[in-house]
Structure formats: structure tokens, C-alpha cells
């Protein structure tokens, strides 16, 4: 039979980041490459704990109770510690903002010029039933390298983000990243422990899918209700009703990942999701993949968060769908 030749033209997350930096022609210190590659390492470790979680609960339970009735650490707390330690270890960050920490973390010694905002394990309410969860992150430069880092460096519009992405712990572990020149995806190869470039320059798919927690309908604005009606009850074309398909994982990375690859629109209109480390990175990815992201009333990336954990409504996906939502807001507000 025909045996497939082993490929040798391998592009890893790290080599890809370095190549992109060189291509951009900007003088680079390698700080950003180091940061992104440490985010990659953090995600591998988080992937590992996520994948062991169920087994540890069942098999590890007795072993753990023997050691002073200590409770098993929650996965989101564990993921947060992993992420923080790996980023701090690069010496390239000045401020860290995590969903898990009420206050921003200002790095005192070995400080660099970057700010990393992140949700170490988003969608963790899904973990006990094996549904995909993920890490979301964004990166800013500090405003002024010679000044002492402050919250002013963080409370900035998403248009100033220099990189954003997520890592999804799904049927495989996949890292999706933008540094402002398109979106690329890297799949974790469990054999070599490398993130390999598997999805080059992702462009939003074209399927008609809407994704929303409709249990919150009682709280939806008129515009959202009107939009939902329009996708569920479109006028018939040649005797067929071109209704959309509904998909809702309830895990932002899962819902955004599907939206990127297949197309459609993801909505969380009641303002649960956090601007800095949930909305901005996903909005940046969408725009870089040819889509849009909006609060319904304005471009998501132009929002300026009032505080590090501020929330906003979000609509993201295919440009035409997001435009339709915005038009309804203009009309019905
Ligand atoms: P979390 O940060 O507490 O995990 O909440 C964020 C998650 C998102 O992943 C997801 O889009 C949303 O909450 C789902 O919310 P709901 O369960 O209300 O539909
Ligand atoms: Mg979250």
C-alpha cells in the first residue's frame, strides 16, 4: 500500500511567532515572542490538568483524603496560578489582569513592558460534564516605558491591543492567535508537546448559525428580540424557509471557535462577559478573520473599560449579521 510520507516542514507556535515578527519589519527585542511562547506553555499545562481532572476526581480521591483531608484545588484556581507563574517567569510583563484576581497584579521585580489580561479557565461551569473550556488572553504595551505602571496602562480601548487569542481544551487542544496580521490556529500534538500550525490565516466561515442563551429572553432589548425573530422566521424563498441553525455551547471559547470556523453570530446581549479579557481578545480575532464585533451600539474594540472587570453586551461574527443587529439597535433604541 501507499504509506504517507512524514512531513518535515513543521511550523510550531514559537517558530511562527518569530517569523511573523521578522516579517513585520519592526525592530523586535523578542520580548513579545517570549511572552507568547510562555502563554503557549501555560496552556499546555492547563490542558494537562483539564484532561486529568475527571480521573483525579475518581481515582485520585482516596489518595488525596489520606493527605490531611485537603480538598482538591479547583481547576480555575490552579490554572490561574500556572498562568501567572509562567508569565511572571518571562520577566517581560509589567501588569497582569486575571478574571480570578479582584485586583490587577503589578510586577515589582524583573519587570518588562507588557500587560497581559486573561481568563485562565473560561466556561469552567462546563467542566464536570466534559464540555470544552478555554483560556482567553490579550496583550498591551505599557503606555510609557519610563513611567511607573498604573491602571491607566490597562483601562484602554481594545484597538490598542497588540495580540489576542484563546486556547480551547476540546476534542483537541487548539491555540488561536492574532498579532494584528490575520488569525492562525495551532493544534497541540500530544506526542511532541508542540503546538503545530494547522489553521493558517483563518477566514470566517459562511454558515448561518445563531448562538445565544435564549433563557435570558426576558431581559433582551427590542433590537435583540427583533433580530432573533428575523433569523427564526425569515420569509420563504421558493417555498423554503431559510431559517438559521441554533448552536450554543455555553462556553465562550467553544462558541467563538465554531463561529470563526463555520460563521454565524455569537451573542451575549445582557452584559455578562468581561470587556478586557473576554470581549476584547475575541473581538480582535473576529475582525482579523474578516468579521465584526459590537456592543450593539458601537464597535467592541472602541469601548474603554471603566474598571478591570467591567462587562459589556457583545455580538460577534459574520459582518452582515453584526451589521443587522446594529441597524436594529439604531432603529429600535
Ligand atoms: P465564566 O467566566 O464564569 O466561566 O462565565 C463566562 C461564560 C462564557 O464562557 C459563556 O459564553 C457564558 O459564560 C455562558 O453564560 P450562560 O451560562 O449564562 O449562558
Ligand atoms: Mg470567564
Over the stretch 210-230, which tens digit does the pLDDT of each residue have? 999 999 999 999 999 999 999
- The secondary structure element, H or E, covering residue 256 is helix 252-262
Q: Does residue 303 carry a pLDDT above 70?
A: yes
Ligand 1 pocket, 123 CB below 6 A?
Answer: yes
* The pLDDT of residue 64: 46
Ligand 1 pocket, 122 CB below 6 A?
Answer: yes
Ligand 1 pocket, 250 CB below 6 A?
Answer: yes
For residue 92, is it left (φ>0), alpha (ψ between -120 and 50) or beta? alpha
* The pLDDT of residue 4: 66
Long-range contacts of 99-102 (CB under 8 A, 24+ apart): 99/274, 99/277, 99/278, 99/309, 100/76, 102/309
C-beta of residue 156 within 8 angstroms of C-beta of residue 140? yes
Complex ipTM: 0.96
Q: What is the pTM of this model?
A: 0.94
Output the CA 238–ligand 1 centroid distance in Å: 39
C-beta of residue 133 within 8 angstroms of C-beta of residue 127? yes
Ligand 1 pocket, 136 CB below 6 A?
Answer: no
Nearest CA to ligand 1 atom 5: 123
- Distance from the Cα of residue 320 to its chain's centroid: 22
Count CB atoms within 10 A of the CB of residue 143: 15
* The pLDDT of residue 60: 55
CB-count burial class (<10 Å; 0-12, 13-18, 19+) for 128: exposed
- Distance from the Cα of residue 243 to its chain's centroid: 28
pLDDT-based confidence at residue 3 (cuts at 50, 70, 90): low
Question: Cell 425573530 appears where?
Answer: 229
pLDDT more than 70, % of the chain? 94
C-beta of residue 138 within 8 angstroms of C-beta of residue 87? no
Output the CA 74–ligand 2 centroid distance in Å: 15
Rounded Cα–Cα distance for residues 161 and 164 (Å): 7
List, for residues 246-294, the tens digit of each pLDDT value: 999 999 999 999 999 999 999 999 999 999 999 999 999 999 999 999 9
Ligand 1 pocket, 259 CB below 6 A?
Answer: no
DSSP assignment of 117-158: EEEEEETGGGGGGT--EEEEEEEEE-S-TTSPP-GGGTS--G
List, for residues 92-105, the tens digit of each pLDDT value: 999 999 999 999 99
Ligand 1 pocket, 130 CB below 6 A?
Answer: no
* The pLDDT of residue 67: 46
Strands 209-211, 194-199: parallel, antiparallel or unpaired by DSSP? unpaired
Q: Does residue 166 carry a pLDDT above 70?
A: yes
C-beta of residue 255 within 8 angstroms of C-beta of residue 122? no
Count CB atoms within 10 A of the CB of residue 325: 28
Output the CA 251–ligand 1 centroid distance in Å: 6
Nearest CA to ligand 1 atom 6: 123
- Selected residue with higher pLDDT from 61 and 182: 182
Count CB atoms within 10 A of the CB of residue 324: 18
Output the CA 78–ligand 2 centroid distance in Å: 15
Count CB atoms within 10 A of the CB of residue 43: 31
Count CB atoms within 10 A of the CB of residue 302: 12
Ligand 1 pocket, 80 CB below 6 A?
Answer: no
Mutate to test the pocket of ligand 1, among 100, 122, 170, 214 (most ligand atoms within 8 A of CB): 122
* The pLDDT of residue 58: 63
Output the CA 201–ligand 2 centroid distance in Å: 26
* The pLDDT of residue 59: 62
Q: What is the rounded average pLDDT of the residues 327-333? A: 97
- Selected residue with higher pLDDT from 88 and 67: 88
C-beta of residue 177 within 8 angstroms of C-beta of residue 186? yes
Question: Cell 475527571 appears where?
Answer: 54
Q: What is the rounded average pLDDT of the residues 164-191? A: 97
Ligand 1 pocket, 291 CB below 6 A?
Answer: no
Output the CA 126–ligand 1 centroid distance in Å: 9
pLDDT-based confidence at residue 170 (cuts at 50, 70, 90): very high
Rounded Cα–Cα distance for residues 101 and 119 (Å): 10
List, for residues 32-84, the tens digit of each pLDDT value: 999 999 999 999 999 999 998 877 766 654 444 444 444 556 888 999 999 99
Amino acid at each position: 500500500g501507499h504509506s504517507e510520507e512524514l512531513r518535515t516542514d513543521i511550523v510550531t507556535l514559537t517558530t511562527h511567532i518569530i517569523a511573523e515578527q521578522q516579517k513585520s519589519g519592526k525592530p523586535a527585542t523578542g520580548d513579545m515572542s517570549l511572552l507568547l511562547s510562555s502563554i503557549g506553555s501555560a496552556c499546555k499545562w492547563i490542558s494537562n490538568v483539564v484532561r486529568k481532572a475527571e480521573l483525579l476526581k475518581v481515582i485520585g480521591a482516596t489518595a488525596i483524603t489520606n493527605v490531611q483531608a485537603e480538598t482538591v484545588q479547583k481547576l480555575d484556581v490552579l490554572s490561574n496560578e500556572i498562568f501567572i507563574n509562567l508569565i511572571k517567569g518571562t520577566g517581560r510583563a509589567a501588569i497582569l489582569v486575571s478574571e480570578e484576581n479582584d485586583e490587577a497584579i503589578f510586577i515589582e521585580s524583573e519587570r518588562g513592558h507588557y500587560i497581559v489580561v486573561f481568563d485562565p479557565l473560561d466556561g469552567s461551569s462546563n467542566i464536570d460534564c466534559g464540555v470544552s473550556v478555554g483560556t482567553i488572553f490579550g496583550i498591551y504595551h505599557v503606555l510609557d516605558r519610563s513611567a511607573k505602571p498604573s491602571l491607566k496602562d490597562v483601562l484602554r480601548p481594545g484597538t490598542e491591543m497588540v495580540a489576542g487569542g484563546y486556547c480551547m481544551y476540546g476534542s483537541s487542544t487548539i491555540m488561536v492567535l492574532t498579532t494584528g496580521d490575520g488569525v492562525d490556529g495551532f493544534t497541540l500534538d500530544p506526542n511532541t508537546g508542540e503546538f503545530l500550525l494547522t489553521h493558517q490565516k483563518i477566514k470566517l466561515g459562511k454558515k448561518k448559525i445563531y448562538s445565544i442563551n435564549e433563557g435570558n429572553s426576558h431581559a433582551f432589548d427590542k433590537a435583540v428580540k427583533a433580530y432573533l425573530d428575523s433569523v427564526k422566521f425569515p420569509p420563504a424563498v421558493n417555498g423554503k424557509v431559510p431559517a438559521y441553525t441554533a448552536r450554543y455551547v455555553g462556553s465562550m471559547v467553544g462558541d467563538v471557535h465554531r463561529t470563526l470556523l463555520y460563521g454565524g453570530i455569537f451573542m451575549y446581549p445582557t452584559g455578562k462577559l468581561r470587556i478586557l479579557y473576554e470581549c476584547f481578545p475575541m473581538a480582535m480575532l473576529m475582525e482579523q478573520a474578516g468579521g465584526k464585533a459590537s456592543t450593539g451600539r458601537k464597535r467592541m474594540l472602541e469601548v474603554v473599560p471603566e474598571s478591570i472587570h467591567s462587562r459589556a453586551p457583545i455580538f460577534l461574527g459574520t459582518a452582515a449579521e453584526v451589521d443587522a443587529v446594529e441597524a436594529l439597535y439604531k432603529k429600535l433604541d
